[in-house]
Chains A and B, each alone.
Chain A
Amino acid sequence: MITVALPKGALLKDSIDRFYGIGLDFRAFLDDNNRQLQIEDPTGTAKAMLVRAQDVPVYVEYGQAQVGIVGYDVLREKKPQVAQLADLEFGDCRMSVAVPADSKYQESRLLPPHGRVASKFVHCARDYFRQLDLPVEIIPLYGSVELGPITGMSEAIVDLVSTGRTLKENGLIEIDVLFHSTARLIAHPLSYRLNSDQLTDWLNQLMNNQ
């Protein structure tokens, strides 16, 4: 049986819709009363696990799930060994550098050397500033990254932005975009190569049913 890893949060509904579109019904996960972490689709063809977005590529890399849907941002951050099969074109957002609206640094390049940048996406942030040849200290935070510059702990943040409302409400503005991100269809490389359980057929259906 195929096992699918689905990401909690912003991408969940669209991901479930995609699978529903090819006849695999995991809508039980959308029920607010659902506490199950694993469910089987009613036809008994596939199983889905509900995991944190960052953990989707982990389950897929280790083969506990053969298929997963996850944001490109997570793939960039974690660089997992998974097959990236399709851009599913939903969950549009961007990885951006933001500073307080009144900051004197209105471009990433102008940030002070050895300045501080708070981020959940430590690797993305580090790679970006390395590319700019700008030495900065990355401060890892796991939520409410906006507080970094508000409290004065950091000069800037690197974070995922979709509408920009959170930034705006906290008095921050985007100054640069690292990359754009959308949902990606990923697969366990060996299962994909070996086409276990006719995996390729299911994946092709998902890819063609956009």
Chain B
Amino acid sequence: MIHQPPAGTRDLLPLEVAQKRWIADRLQQVFHRWGYQRIITSTLEWVDTLTAGGAIQPETVIQVEDTAEGRLGLRPELTASIARTAVTRMAGCTYPQRLYYSANVFRRSSQAHHGRQVEFFQTGVELLYSGSSLADTEILLLLADGLQHLGLEQWEIVLGEAGLTRSLLSVFPEAVQETVRYCLANLDRVGLENLDLSPELRDRALLLFDLRGKPEDVLQKVSTLNLNPQETQTVNNLKTLIDRLRNSHSNAFPLILDLSLIETIDYYTGIVFEVVSTRQQQYRVLGKGGRYDHLLELYHPHGESAPGIGFALNIEELHSELSSSEELPQKPPSSHWLVIPTTPQAEIAALHHAQTLRHSDHVVRVELELEGRSPEDIRDYASLSHIEHLVWVDEQGNLDIERTQAEQNLSQDG
């Protein structure tokens, strides 16, 4: 029998690991600079925990066991797990909580898409217990800082306000509200036109559909609607947020305000956003996020409510986006030294010398010749593996150091 990885999964070989680690490490440096701390949660969760927020459908969870206590599944995202642990195990910690993660997630693909990826790598942040507009600003600036640190230049953020859009939908009769919302979220203008609505309401629905574009223009259009005090407050907060972004980011913060950017469920409560790469017209969603002020209470033992906001970036998408970047490692790291015992009696001396090298002040990669190959084979191996130095060790511990072709090329390049 031939053993293959399951459809939709794959193995990452050393070069790809080195590249993806580079991406995750760069982002991690930025998260640290903003005072975020790493959290690691369980890959396995109760399906009920994963789906409590309403954003995850049970059929998209890969379920691994059905026990008397309930069903277990692989996490499709981390916000649910972090919310669960934040309100229980971390209760009593100082507020706010700034957390980040870098982990794999799993999503069952629908049957229509055979072979579609099921295991993904994500890195993201959650800022818990702060509901302020300044917290919204921090999250968007942190996102932009991360992208900038990766060397990404052509991207744009599509920003929505789930709370505001939901409120603007309340003028529609309850029976059609869900349909209007579905049509907005799925950009189905024909669906809106065909709804059984009064001419005024139809115009209102089509106006909502078109609330998209330059933030200043969109906010201007929204202000002409008959807003209630709460809506006016949200619009003002958006204005403040956009002002802050424009004035705090080194170059003009690329932003589109799109009030039809909503989900069909009430998961997000405030700003919601997607970051899209716009390089060469190949639009790619690099990550998304938003504010979820009613999520933590679902996990709190006494249902206490607390605000939260965060985003997740998809490492695979960032990797494809950066594939032509010169900064990305182009080969897996190679060893600096190959230590070769010249005879079986020299093995102890070789082990000692290798260990001495490994304890140098700067990090060096040292490997040991294990096979007793001929000097010619060893030189071939060293050249194929880009090893810089060979050191031949005899039984008295005498060293004969040889620079390889790889090292000479390197010094010529340097």
The chain A residues found within 8 Å of chain B, CB to CB, are 63, 81-87, 184, 187-197
Contact = CB atoms under 8 A, between A and B. Distances in A.
23 contacts: A63-B282, A82-B187, A83-B186, A83-B187, A83-B189, A84-B188, A84-B189, A85-B187, A85-B189, A86-B190, A184-B190, A188-B283, A191-B283, A193-B256, A193-B258, A193-B261, A194-B156, A194-B278, A194-B283, A195-B212, A195-B213, A195-B256, A196-B278
Interface in B358-381: none
Nearest to B160: A193
Nearest to A196: B281
B23 to A, nearest CB: 22
Given A83-B188, A184-B190, A197-B281, 16 more contacts: A82-B187, A84-B187, A84-B191, A85-B190, A87-B193, A187-B187, A188-B283, A190-B276, A190-B283, A191-B281, A193-B187, A193-B261, A194-B156, A194-B276, A196-B278, A196-B283
Chain B interface main SS type? mixed
A24 B281 CA distance: 20
Nearest to B281: A196
Nearest to A197: B281
B285 interface: yes
A127 to B, nearest CB: 14
Chain A interface main SS type? mixed
A18 to B, nearest CB: 16
A189 B278 CA distance: 14
A84 B260 CA distance: 14
A81 B158 CA distance: 18
B187 A189 contact: yes
Interface string B148-192: 000000001010000000000000000000000000001111110
Nearest to A189: B187
Interface string B252-274: 00001010110000000000000
Contacts of A197: 281
Contacts of A86: 189-190
Nearest to A2: B281
